Structure 1
C-alpha cells in the first residue's frame, strides 16, 4: 500500500501539470497520479486543470462552464481557502480503477472540514485514464437537485443606548397609518401636523397629498408605537386616520433626528455580498450601512450559529451534516449623546428652516449643530440638516412611492446623506477671531488692558495690506464706530479693524504662527468620530504667503475653512481653560442586556497649549460680553431683547463669513459662564444673513432647552419678510 499527502504531491503535480500544457491528450499513466493532480488543482482553485483530468464522457456531461460553476458555488458557500489530502492505494479492475483518499477542506468560515473515506473512480479509454466525475466527488450525496447550505440563525440585533441608558435604536413595533382626503376636515391642518410629527418641510408634506382622489386610501406616515400613541388622537381627528398596519423592525428614537448618528440598516450591496455570505448571513438580511450601525455592525449584529449541511431537493430534509460554527452574541452600544437633547437640537434646526422657509430657509445650503461636554469631549448631540428618514433604506418599510423618496434624497443638492457637522468645511468668518485673539495676546502683540481705536474704516497699507481702506461691518450696517476698545471688547464688538491690524502685526513679526495656534487647539485634523468609516473634512488653516492673506485669515476669511466640529473643539477648550479634548461619540461596547463589557472609552486629551494665564480669561470675557454687553455685544439682542431673558448666562461669538453670493452664518457658545458645562456650535452655510440673525437664535433655542429656560420665539421677520441677502464688501468681513 502507498500514500501521497498534499505536501508530497505538490512537487509531483508540477511535472504533471506541465505535461497537460504540452498536450491536451497527455495524461499521467497512473490513476493515483491523476487523482493527486486533480486534488492539487482544486487546492489552487484551477478548475480548468481539474476539468482536464476528467474522462471524455464526463467532460461531455459536465462542460467546463458548468463544472466550474459547481465548484464555485461550493467554494463560495464554505469560504474555501485550501484543500489538504491523502491519497491511498489504487485498485485496478480491467479498464476501471478506484482510488481511496481523504480530504480536509480549509474554510475561513468553518475551519477544517474533515471528509475521510472518499473514493475517486476512473476509466481508461484508448489507453488514457480519466476521472468518471459526478457532483458527489465534491461531497458525497451532493447529487441531482440536492444543495449545500450554510445559512444560520441570525441573533436579534443588539440595542443602541444613550448616555443615560435610554433606548436609541431597538427592535420594536412600527405603525403605518393610512387615510383618505375625504376623512380630513381640512387638508392643510393635516399637512401641518404631518410636517410637525415627522420633521419634514411643510412643502414635502403638501407634495405627498398630490395625485390622490378624495376616496383613495393612501399612506400617511409610519411611526414607532410610542410616537403613534402620543399622536393617535390628533391623527384621527385632524388627518382622519382609520387604518393602521403594524410590523416589527428596527426603530430609532426620534426617527430622522438620529440618522446622522445611528445611520441606518439596508440590504447588502453587491460588493458586500461575498463577505457577509461567508459569515453566514443570507441575501435577505439587512446590515448597518452608515453611522454607528455601520461602524459597529459586527458587534451589534453578532454572527449566526451555522451548520454546513447538504439538503435534499426541496431544501427541507437534511442528507448530511458536514460541520458547524458557533455564532457570537450581539453587543449593545452605549453612546455619549443624550437622546432628548439630540431631539431638541434637531427640532431647533428643523423648526428654524420651516419657519424661515419664505426667507433664508429656502436658500441656505444646509445646517450643522453640535453640543460637546466641555470637560470630556463627549458629543451630547449632533444634528445635520437636511434630515433623512432612516426607514427609506429598510426593505421592511411600508412607505409608498419609495423610489420617489430615494430619488429625492439622491438629487437633493444640499447633500442630506452627508454629515454637515463633520464632512463639510466652511469659511468660519468672525468666530475665528477667538483664535486670532489667543495668538496675538499670547505672543504679546497686544496686552489685555491696551486699547485700540475701532474706526469704521481701516487702512493697513503701512503694514503690507494691498487693499484700499477696508470698511468695518458697522459702517456697512449703518452703526457708529465702536471707538476705543480693549481686546475683550474687540471680541464683543467683532471689530474687524482690530483683527486686521493685529493679524497683520502677528504675521509681520511671527510669520504664519496663527496656523500653529489652530493646530494646537485641534483645528486642521480629522477626529475619526466614526472610526474612519466616514470621511471627515480635514479643515484648511491656509498658509499665508503675503500680509494681505494673513489679514483675511485673521477674521476667518481667505482660504480658511473648517468643519463645525473643529470649532466646537476650540470653543470647549476656551471654556475649560485650555484643555483640548478629542471629541467622541461611543461610551462603551457591551455592558448591558447581559453582555459583558467589551470596551469602555475615556476622555482623550489632544493637547494642553502653553498659554499665559490672562489669555483665555480675556477671550472668555470677550465672548461673555458678546452675549451680555449692551454697548458692544453682537448677540445681545438675541438673548436680552428677543422677548425674554434667559435663566442662564451664556458666552458666545457671532460669525458672518463671505462665501460668494450668500454668507455663512455661525454662532459658537458655551454656558453657563460661571462654570461651563457645554459648548455649542451652529453653522448655517450660505444662509445669506448674519450669524447673529440666523445661527444665534438656533443656538439660544438649544441653550433654553438644556437649562430648562422658557424658550423664545424665532424672529418674526424670518416668517413675514422676503429674503434679502446680506451685502458684504469684498475684503470687508461680517460680524
Structure 2
C-alpha cells in the first residue's frame, strides 16, 4: 500500500513536470515568433520603406566624385601670341567625409602647417561643401615641390587628402597688359550663390577684371570628372563613370604685344595711361595704365610680400585709360568742329586773339598772357589759343557746344568690351541750375570751350575724338576683339568735308610749327594736339593726342599723365612719338 502511494506521488510529480516543460516550450516558441517577427519587420521596413535613403547613405561612403575642371581658353594677341594661357601645377584636394574621422583635428593641423594655410580656412571650405559631399574640394593650388614632398612623407597621417595635377592660369608677360587682361580668382560666397544656376561650384575660378571677366563664358569651358567606387580606406576600386572636361574657347584680341610693350615702356613709372587705336574701326592696338599689377599673383595664393607691394602702389587696379579727367586743350578739336558746323564760322574765319577775354568781371587769359594776334582755325589749333576758342564757344552757345561734345561720345561710355568704364561728364545749363541754383553764363561757355571746369573725358574717349578727323568724320566704337568688319564699329557724324580739312590742317600744324614740335620727326608725319588740365591744388595733368601718318592715318595714340606738371607737348608728346615709331617698325611684321 505504501509502495502504491509512493508510485502515485511519483507519477503525479512527473505529470506536473511534464506539463511545465510543455508550457516552457510554448513560451519559447511564442517569444521566438515575436523576436524573429520583429527583426523581419524591421528588415522589411529598412529595405522597403527606408531602402532608398539607406542606399544613398551607403553610396555616400562608397561612391565619390573626382571633379576635373576645364582648361581655360587662351587669350592671344592679334598675331597669335599668348597673353594669357595655362600651365600645369599640383593642387591639394580633400574628401569632405574625412572631417567625420577621429583624426580630423590632427589632419587639419598638419595640412595647415605644410600648406601655410590657417586651419580655420580649411575648416571653412569643408563646411561650405558639406561634410557629406561626395566631391573632392580644392584647398590649395600651385603648391611647391617641397610641399608635395612633405605631403607624401606624411601620407599615413593625412587620411582623405589627395594631390593631383590641374591647369593653372599663367600670364607669360607679367604686368604687361594687366588692365586689358584682368585676372582670375575663386568665387566668393556671394558670387557662388549668384552663379550656381549657371553650373558654377565651390572652388571654381572666374574672371574678376578685364577681358577675363568680359569673356568669362567664352573662356570658361565645361567641367568633367569621374565617379569612382572606393573601399573603406578611401582607395579607388573602380571607375563607375567619366565625363571629359571641355576646354574653353580661345579669343584673339586686336592688341599687338610689341606695341603694348612699347606703350608701357613709354609711360614708364608715371601715373597715367596710353591708348593706341586704329582710327578706321576702333580696334585697340595697345592700352596701358600705370601703376599696374601682376595677374599671376591672383592665379595662386598671394604671398604677404606681394600683398604689401600692392598696398604701396597708388590704386593699381584703376584703369586710368577708362577714367574721366579734365581734357584741357585737346577738347579744342570738338570746339573747332562745333564752330565750323554751326554755320556761324567759315573755314576762312580769322579772329583776333588777346591776352585775355573779359566777362562778368572775370578775366580768361590766353596761356601765354599775350595772345597770338589774328588767327584762323588751323593757326589757333597750332598755338592752342584760349581766347580764339573762347570766342567760338561764347558765340555758338552751350547748346551747340554740348551737343557736339555728346556727338563725339563724351558723357557716355564708349562701349569698349572692358568692365569699369566711366562715362565722363559734360556740364550743361540744366546741370548747373540743379547743382548751383543759377543760370549758365558766358564764362561757363568759355571754360568748357577750352576743356576745363566740370568737363571730364577719359583717355579712351579722347582717342575716339582724335579718330574723327583722322578717319574723315566717323565716330568709332573701341573694341578689343579682333574683327574684319570695320563698318560694324563706326558711325558717320556727317561732317562737312571742309570741316575735316581745316581741323586736320590745324592738327598737323601743331606738330610742324606749334606746341607739339617734339613730334616733328623726319621718318613719319604726325598730327596731334597737346593739353594741360588744371587740378588745383595738385599739379596739373598733361595730355597729347596724335595720329599718323598724317595724310593717311592708321593709328591714333593718346597719352595722359596724371598730376605730372609741365606741358602736354613736352611730357606726353614724346610718349606718343615712341608709340607711333614702334608701330611703324612693327606694323608689317
TM over 0.5, shorter chain: yes
Aligned residues of 2:72 and 2:247 also touching (Cα < 8 A)? no
Instruction: Tell me the residue number matched to 1:682.
Output: 559
CA displacement, residues 99-147 of structure 1 (integer Å, 9 cap, x when unaligned): 79xxxxxxxxxxxxxxxxx8423xxxxxxxxxxx99626x15236xx26
Q: CA deviation at 1:513?
A: 1.8
Task: Please identify the structure whose Cα radius of gyration is greater.
Answer: 2
Does residue 500 (structure 1) correspond to residue 390 (structure 2)? The answer is yes
Q: Matched residues in 2 for 1:415 and 1:603: separation?
A: 37
Secondary structure, aligned partner of 1:561 = coil
Does residue 451 (structure 1) correspond to residue 350 (structure 2)? The answer is yes
Inter-CA distance 620–467: structure 2 relative to 1 (3 Å threshold): farther
Q: Matched residues in 1 for 2:572 and 2:361: separation?
A: 30
Q: Matched residues in 2 for 1:324 and 1:528: separation?
A: 42
Alignment of structure 1 residues 291-306 onto 2, 5 Å: 291-306=210-225
Q: Matched residues in 1 for 2:372 and 2:62: separation?
A: 83
Q: CA deviation at 1:681?
A: 0.8
Q: CA deviation at 1:519?
A: 1.9
Alignment of structure 1 residues 268-667 onto 2, 5 Å: 268-273=187-192, 286-308=205-227, 311-317=230-236, 321=240, 327-350=245-268, 353=269, 361=270, 366-395=271-300, 402-410=303-311, 412=313, 414-422=314-322, 424-459=323-358, 461=359, 466-475=360-369, 481-507=371-397, 511-530=398-417, 534-544=419-429, 545-587=440-482, 604-629=488-513, 633-636=514-517, 638-640=518-520, 645-661=521-537, 662-667=539-544
Q: CA deviation at 1:482?
A: 1.3
Q: Matched residues in 1 for 2:379 and 2:67: separation?
A: 67
Q: Matched residues in 1 for 2:401 and 2:237: separation?
A: 71
Aligned residues of 1:683 and 1:695 also touching (Cα < 8 A)? yes
CA displacement, residues 461-495 of structure 1 (integer Å, 9 cap, x when unaligned): 3xxxx2423221112xxxx5311111111111100
Inter-CA distance 614–439: structure 2 relative to 1 (3 Å threshold): same
Secondary structure, aligned partner of 1:257 = coil
Q: Which has the higher helix share?
A: 2
Aligned residues of 2:474 and 2:491 also touching (Cα < 8 A)? yes
Aligned residues of 1:311 and 1:320 also touching (Cα < 8 A)? no
CA displacement, residues 231-263 of structure 1 (integer Å, 9 cap, x when unaligned): xxxxxxxxxxxxxxxx99543343211211111
Q: Matched residues in 2 for 1:541 and 1:663: separation?
A: 20
Point out where structure 2 has 5 or more consecutive residues left out of the alignment: 1-36, 90-165, 430-439
Aligned residues of 1:305 and 1:327 also touching (Cα < 8 A)? yes
TM-score by length of 1: 0.58
Alignment of structure 1 residues 124-143 onto 2, 5 Å: 136=54, 139=56, 141-142=58-59
Instruction: Tell me the residue number matched to 2:77.
Output: 162
Inter-CA distance 512–604: structure 2 relative to 1 (3 Å threshold): same
Q: CA deviation at 1:158?
A: 2.6
Aligned residues of 2:325 and 2:456 also touching (Cα < 8 A)? yes
Inter-CA distance 157–501: structure 2 relative to 1 (3 Å threshold): same
Inter-CA distance 619–97: structure 2 relative to 1 (3 Å threshold): same
Alignment of structure 1 residues 212-227 onto 2, 5 Å: none
Q: Matched residues in 2 for 1:275 and 1:147: separation?
A: 31
Q: Matched residues in 1 for 2:342 and 2:363: separation?
A: 26
Q: Matched residues in 2 for 1:272 and 1:416: separation?
A: 23
Q: Matched residues in 1 for 2:250 and 2:528: separation?
A: 37
Alignment of structure 1 residues 83-102 onto 2, 5 Å: none
Query: What do you get for the CA RMSD once the two structures are aligned?
Result: 3.2
Q: Matched residues in 2 for 1:314 and 1:467: separation?
A: 89
CA displacement, residues 419-452 of structure 1 (integer Å, 9 cap, x when unaligned): 1111x21000000000000001111222121211
Q: Matched residues in 2 for 1:99 and 1:149: separation?
A: 27
Instruction: Tell me the residue number matched to 1:120.
Output: 49
Inter-CA distance 499–315: structure 2 relative to 1 (3 Å threshold): farther
Instruction: Tell me the residue number matched to 1:254.
Output: 173
Q: CA deviation at 1:704?
A: 2.0
Q: Matched residues in 2 for 1:618 and 1:454: separation?
A: 18
Secondary structure, aligned partner of 1:708 = helix
CA displacement, residues 636-674 of structure 1 (integer Å, 9 cap, x when unaligned): 1x124xxxx340000000001111122110111111111
Aligned residues of 1:388 and 1:416 also touching (Cα < 8 A)? yes
Aligned residues of 1:267 and 1:395 also touching (Cα < 8 A)? no
Inter-CA distance 279–471: structure 2 relative to 1 (3 Å threshold): closer
Instruction: Tell me the residue number matched to 1:673.
Output: 550
Secondary structure, aligned partner of 1:421 = helix
Aligned residues of 1:153 and 1:305 also touching (Cα < 8 A)? yes
Q: Matched residues in 2 for 1:312 and 1:457: separation?
A: 90
Secondary structure, aligned partner of 1:380 = strand
Q: CA deviation at 1:530?
A: 2.9
Q: CA deviation at 1:634?
A: 0.7
CA displacement, residues 346-374 of structure 1 (integer Å, 9 cap, x when unaligned): 11111xx3xxxxxxx5xxxx201111101
Aligned residues of 1:312 and 1:319 also touching (Cα < 8 A)? no
Aligned residues of 1:377 and 1:582 also touching (Cα < 8 A)? yes
Secondary structure, aligned partner of 1:675 = coil
Inter-CA distance 694–505: structure 2 relative to 1 (3 Å threshold): same
Secondary structure, aligned partner of 1:693 = helix
Inter-CA distance 150–298: structure 2 relative to 1 (3 Å threshold): farther
Instruction: Tell me the residue number matched to 1:264.
Output: 183
Q: Matched residues in 2 for 1:300 and 1:270: separation?
A: 22
Secondary structure, aligned partner of 1:266 = strand
Q: Matched residues in 2 for 1:173 and 1:94: separation?
A: 56
Secondary structure, aligned partner of 1:676 = coil
Inter-CA distance 99–375: structure 2 relative to 1 (3 Å threshold): farther
Secondary structure, aligned partner of 2:557 = strand
Q: Which has the larger displacement, 545-554 or 285-294?
A: 285-294
Inter-CA distance 277–503: structure 2 relative to 1 (3 Å threshold): closer
Aligned residues of 2:171 and 2:296 also touching (Cα < 8 A)? no
Inter-CA distance 309–452: structure 2 relative to 1 (3 Å threshold): same
Aligned residues of 1:624 and 1:650 also touching (Cα < 8 A)? yes
Q: CA deviation at 1:587?
A: 2.1
Q: CA deviation at 1:148?
A: 5.9
Point out where structure 1 has 5 or more consecutive residues left out of the alignment: 1-90, 101-117, 122-132, 175-246, 354-360, 589-599, 710-735
Q: CA deviation at 1:626?
A: 0.3
Aligned residues of 1:651 and 1:671 also touching (Cα < 8 A)? yes
Q: Matched residues in 2 for 1:501 and 1:282: separation?
A: 62
Q: Matched residues in 2 for 1:314 and 1:523: separation?
A: 66
Aligned length: 463
CA displacement, residues 577-615 of structure 1 (integer Å, 9 cap, x when unaligned): 011111110127xxxxxxxxxxx8765345311222211
